[in-house]
Structure 1
Amino acid sequence: MEFSSRRKKSVTKFQTELYGHALQFYGQPPVENISLSEFETFAVDRLKLLKTVENLGVSYVKQSEQYSTKLEKEFKNLSFPYRPDTDDRKAQNGESEYEKRRKDHISHFILRLAYCQTEDLRRWFIQQEVDLFRYRFNDLDPKCKLEFLHRNNLQYDTISVKEKKTLLDKLVSSSYAVSGITVENQDFYKVPFQDALDLVRTRKVYLKGGYVYIPHQDIITIVLNDFRTRLSKALALTARSLPAVHSDERLQPLLNHLSHAYVGQDYSIQKNIGKISLEQIDSLSGKSFPLCMRQLHQALRESHHLRHGGRMQYGLFLKGIGLSLEQALQFWRSEFIRGKVDADKFDKAYAYSIRHMFGKEGKRTDYTPYSCMKVILSNPPSQGDHHGCPFRHSDPELLKQKLQVYKVSPSGISQILELVKGMHYQLACQKYFELTHNIEDANFSLNHPNQYFIESQKVLGGGKDIKREADTPQRSQENTAAKGSTAARDPAANASQNLAEITEELDSFFQDARL
């Protein structure tokens, strides 16, 4: 991608073909010159869009009517393409729709540069882009979906009519929302089962001989896996080019600022250090810890040991709520020596990793507590582990038993399990928050365990110093709390307010950068 003070007005044959469809895999990078002003506008608008996707994804069931309505409105407001619009294309001689597709394409690649820099940034960017792609693909009519598959050489093998008739009963009984009539009138794709693990796990497809038979309506799962894989590889390649990009003094500060605009609160900022005493932890775990941290604390108290994954997830969480390095060493040492680890072995084998979390060893990186997305998507627990997300990684029956022990009502458990069944893990955790705090609407979008703790402290009215100090780094949460009594109960409305405030700062930064 090149940058200049003027934009070329001519539309090349390459661009016409590239923007011939409202949706793409972003396989070809932009080849035209764009101005820095356009660079800034495109980048900020796509960040607004991706942040809206994130907020709606943890506030509503994805692909629900409310979710789709609010996301469609955001597409219109920001002038991004969301479905082929024939009348609009004709009204502007193709220019309006072309410009939307051009903006979509270029802005995606700009954010690739900003969000390829670290694992956490890449994970956030991929998740939002995948959710965005899912919405846009599902919004296409069947003809456009087929056109998209053909344009991207996604030639999945359809089974023959004979094979379809032979497997008719199996396909009807195994495929979600498929009857004998619809089987005859739609294509089924034969795909290796490893390419459709989500469908296999939720038992929505027929599995035979290492292949799954997917009805046309569920092909989105395979397309999304392909999109995620391509984007992940592309971000890794983009990261290799960063030294050359950072040599441009105009771009480096802009990209760094963009990459930090929407990554959420930095819970490694320890302004509340020492405000949590070791004696409080047991009480707080039952009142204000999310389920993932509550189960880690309980496992530690019972077995007096946690494996590395659990120590990292729980240790960084405790650091985020205010435990100092000295307190952390005392906490872990006292617990481990109650088990099979003596004090000398603890100092030699475990103390280093705790100091490392606080940036006192090794590369001296001040590690940040894990977000919900990182807990859900990375390093799944194996036998003997207790880390991970209980809503994502626990067997539904075991999860049900755990919720019963924690005094969640039967109707509440049913609501949570229904959300888990639909793979809405953050919504399930948010519902757990509402049920355990006896409120009807949490009035925030949950995306971090430490956010759960802070919001719990607000609801319970205790720990005022903790609440005040922990809220300082994040303007959006501070404003939400201050306006909570008068703001609309719609989480998307609060998110829009936060977006407007953060966007003002971004715009101000870009203006200063030009000066």
Structure 2
Amino acid sequence: MLFGGRKKKGVENPQTELYGHCLQLYTQPPLENISLVEFEQFAVDRMKLLKTVENLGVTHIKTSEDYSKKLHAEISSLNFPHRTEVSTFIVPAVASEYEKRRKDHISHFILRLAYCQTEDLRRWFIQQEMDLFRHRFNDLSPKSKSDFLHRNSLQYETISVEEKKSLMEKLINSSYAFSGCTVEEQDFYKVPFQDALDLVRMRKVFVKDGFAYVPHQDIVTIVLNDYRTRLSKALALTARSLPVVQSDERLQPLLSHLSHAYVGQDYSIQKNIGKISLEQIDSLSTKSFPPCMRQLHKALRDSHHLRHGGRMQYGLFLKGIGLTLDQALQFWRAEFLRGKVDADKFDKAYAYSIRHMFGKEGKRTDYTPYSCMKVILSNPPSQGDHHGCPFRHSDPELLKQKLQSYKISSGGINQILELVKGMHYQLACQKYFELTHSIDDAGFSLNHPNQYFSESQKLLTGGKEVKRELDSPRRPHAAAGSENSKAPPETPSSSNRVPQEVMDDLDSFFQEE
């Protein structure tokens, strides 16, 4: 894969010039060839990093020590650059630092291609990149910060000791929590008034003769404003050129699915296959199903039918929690026959698609259950549909009523609705998990409905293997909460899977309403 661009003339070592600092504003696109494997891996790793940034930003104070510690650990584990003084790449010992900076640079531009496609995606990408940049910039030493400003032509001059002394009283009065001693120790930057409007608006800086006197600790605000402006314009430009990039048949599938790709455990590998009975499903739906699957199950029991979007989302979820093909055929047949579908129509219109879902027809692909991002971002429900994410696709008042019917406390409902308001839908679902399981911290980042089920069963069963109950030949419709469900635990593990397989081929078999 070639990233186009012109090399600067007169630069003997473009790599040293480009990666001379551990942090950059990503103004120059990559200039090298990379393989598709590396393309995918870089994109997946940066998605993991940005997802961690989002989760920590909601659950922790962004300036707290715990936030910094956890984010630093994630940056290090994914092999991205962070808090280093290395500036050249002559010695072999720093080759690994060069690779980290190269990965950081290329992965940012790959995700620009994936996240420039809609306004929602652009907004999410900008917010997470801004938070990541803020953390990395704040962790730089004063010398590295000055070097960064110089390299990016952000020439904000520091005021002299004499000028600082002459303005001492005004700087103390205008800078929050500053004393004379701290002012003497701090560098102050003389910044054009228009570049510091946020700080001026909050009355955090002294203004004189068209310049704002910004303390060293607040210069990040100026840099972030500049970065946001650059990134917003860059994403708009990238969106215009996207059709040209998508014409490449190698990249089009990757870019189309990167924005809602799932990179965790593969739930198409059914380690617990056949470990639950059909009679357990009603009980499990109230105990261990995430709200998206709980509402699909209830809609199916009430109307004895689901439209194709709901059948795909719920059918693959049931497959992922352990239903065998025979169980799935029995489950869907029993329910549909109680509705307006006769046995002959079920066999002709629906049975084939269920076998196809299990890899027994067509391309014989073992299809993967939907991840949270796929549920949230693809195929939004229309009138008469019950699929999708309740936190993303439900009216807030209806969502509130639904949560009340699930016996969630008013305080818990308010916490969930605040997360929904901030568009943190997966975190809202995670908070629902904590409230319904009476725990303070789930201890995991929720990314998949089947992960929700596995983690729930792990808590409810204490990690014990279950003894599968025999399926009854009669229609399984036990009263909710009448059985104690036990399913074997699965420990979610981070993996380097590429984005989940395109589902279009399967979609074509679910068009019958």
Report if TM-score (shorter chain) is over 0.5: yes
The equivalences for 1:389-404 within 5 A come to: 389-404=389-404
| Residue aligned with 1:61, SS | helix
| Residue aligned with 2:456, SS | helix
Q: Residues 42 and 103 of structure 2 are in contact (CA less than 8 Å); yes or no, is this contact kept in structure 1?
A: no
Within 2, Cα distance between the matches of 1:395 and 1:224? 33
Within 1, Cα distance between the matches of 2:129 and 2:242? 14
Query: Shift of residue 300 of structure 1?
Result: 1.1
Unaligned runs of at least 5 residues, structure 2: 3-9, 115-120, 139-144, 155-196, 206-224, 253-261, 469-485, 497-513
1:61 aligns with 2:58: yes
Within 2, Cα distance between the matches of 1:217 and 1:30? 21
Within 2, Cα distance between the matches of 1:12 and 1:43? 30
Of Structure 1 and Structure 2, the greater helix share is in 1
Please name the residue that 1:354 is paired with: 354
1:240 aligns with 2:241: no
User: Which one has the largest radius of gyration?
Assistant: 2
What letter corresponds to residue 457 of structure 1 in structure 2? Q
Q: Which moved more, 1:300-309 or 1:134-143?
A: 134-143
1:134 to 130, 133, 146: 130
Within 2, Cα distance between the matches of 1:416 and 1:25? 36
1:426 aligns with 2:426: yes
Change (3 A) 1:222 1:387: farther
Within 1, Cα distance between the matches of 2:276 and 2:487? 13
Within 1, Cα distance between the matches of 2:77 and 2:332? 51
Please name the residue that 2:502 is paired with: none
Change (3 A) 1:27 1:181: closer
Within 2, Cα distance between the matches of 1:67 and 1:80? 17
Q: Residues 126 and 232 of structure 2 are in contact (CA less than 8 Å); yes or no, is this contact kept in structure 1?
A: no
Within 2, Cα distance between the matches of 1:182 and 1:320? 51
Q: Residues 43 and 110 of structure 1 are in contact (CA less than 8 Å); yes or no, is this contact kept in structure 2?
A: no
Change (3 A) 1:46 1:448: closer
| Residue aligned with 1:240, SS | coil
Query: Shift of residue 23 of structure 1?
Result: 3.2
Change (3 A) 1:237 1:14: farther
Within 2, Cα distance between the matches of 1:146 and 1:386? 55
Please name the residue that 2:24 is paired with: 23
What letter corresponds to residue 300 of structure 2 in structure 1? L
Please name the residue that 1:511 is paired with: none
Please name the residue that 2:188 is paired with: none
Please name the residue that 2:439 is paired with: 439
Please name the residue that 2:416 is paired with: 416
Query: Shift of residue 72 of structure 1?
Result: 3.9
| Residue aligned with 1:318, SS | helix
Identical amino acids, percent of aligned pairs: 56
1:105 to 86, 102, 124: 102
Residue correspondences, number: 380
| Residue aligned with 2:417, SS | helix
1:406 aligns with 2:406: yes
Please name the residue that 2:465 is paired with: 464
Within 1, Cα distance between the matches of 2:15 and 2:54? 32
What letter corresponds to residue 131 of structure 2 in structure 1? Y
| Residue aligned with 1:369, SS | coil
Q: Residues 46 and 108 of structure 2 are in contact (CA less than 8 Å); yes or no, is this contact kept in structure 1?
A: no
What letter corresponds to residue 240 of structure 1 in structure 2? R
Q: Residues 288 and 457 of structure 2 are in contact (CA less than 8 Å); yes or no, is this contact kept in structure 1?
A: yes
Please name the residue that 1:172 is paired with: none
Change (3 A) 1:27 1:218: closer
The equivalences for 1:67-106 within 5 A come to: 67-72=67-72, 74-75=74-75, 80-81=80-81, 88=85, 100=97, 103-106=100-103
Please name the residue that 1:248 is paired with: none
Within 1, Cα distance between the matches of 2:239 and 2:370? 23
Change (3 A) 1:235 1:333: farther
Within 1, Cα distance between the matches of 2:129 and 2:331? 45
What letter corresponds to residue 396 of structure 1 in structure 2? P
Please name the residue that 1:267 is paired with: 267
Q: Residues 455 and 489 of structure 2 are in contact (CA less than 8 Å); yes or no, is this contact kept in structure 1?
A: no
| Residue aligned with 1:419, SS | helix
Q: Deviations over 1:427-475 (max 9, x none)?
A: 111110111111222122211111111111122227733877552xx5x
Q: Deviations over 1:315-351 (max 9, x none)?
A: 0000011111111112112212222222222221122
Change (3 A) 1:64 1:180: closer
Q: Residues 285 and 294 of structure 2 are in contact (CA less than 8 Å); yes or no, is this contact kept in structure 1?
A: yes
The equivalences for 1:64-463 within 5 A come to: 64-65=62-63, 66-72=66-72, 74-75=74-75, 80-81=80-81, 88=85, 100=97, 103-106=100-103, 109=106, 133-138=129-134, 181=201, 222=232, 226=236, 229=239, 236=246, 240=250, 263-461=263-461
| Residue aligned with 1:464, SS | coil
What letter corresponds to residue 396 of structure 2 in structure 1? P
Query: Shift of residue 271 of structure 1?
Result: 3.4
Query: Shift of residue 264 of structure 1?
Result: 2.0
Q: Residues 81 and 97 of structure 1 are in contact (CA less than 8 Å); yes or no, is this contact kept in structure 2?
A: no
Within 2, Cα distance between the matches of 1:224 and 1:418? 31
Change (3 A) 1:16 1:269: closer
Within 1, Cα distance between the matches of 2:31 and 2:368? 35
RMSD: 5.2
Q: Residues 272 and 321 of structure 2 are in contact (CA less than 8 Å); yes or no, is this contact kept in structure 1?
A: yes
Q: Deviations over 1:168-226 (max 9, x none)?
A: xxxxxxxxx9899579x9xxxxxxxxxxxxxxxxxxxxxxxxxxxxx989758846854
Q: Residues 134 and 224 of structure 1 are in contact (CA less than 8 Å); yes or no, is this contact kept in structure 2?
A: no
Within 2, Cα distance between the matches of 1:326 and 1:93? 60
Q: Residues 58 and 445 of structure 1 are in contact (CA less than 8 Å); yes or no, is this contact kept in structure 2?
A: yes
Q: Residues 53 and 128 of structure 2 are in contact (CA less than 8 Å); yes or no, is this contact kept in structure 1?
A: no
Q: Residues 292 and 387 of structure 1 are in contact (CA less than 8 Å); yes or no, is this contact kept in structure 2?
A: yes
Q: Deviations over 1:344-370 (max 9, x none)?
A: 222211222111111111111110111
Change (3 A) 1:76 1:233: farther
Change (3 A) 1:61 1:241: closer
Q: Residues 58 and 446 of structure 1 are in contact (CA less than 8 Å); yes or no, is this contact kept in structure 2?
A: no
Q: Residues 19 and 98 of structure 1 are in contact (CA less than 8 Å); yes or no, is this contact kept in structure 2?
A: no
Change (3 A) 1:332 1:341: same
Q: Residues 75 and 82 of structure 2 are in contact (CA less than 8 Å); yes or no, is this contact kept in structure 1?
A: yes
Within 2, Cα distance between the matches of 1:470 and 1:288? 12
Please name the residue that 2:475 is paired with: none
Within 2, Cα distance between the matches of 1:130 and 1:67? 19
Q: Deviations over 1:125-150 (max 9, x none)?
A: 99998776333445569998999899
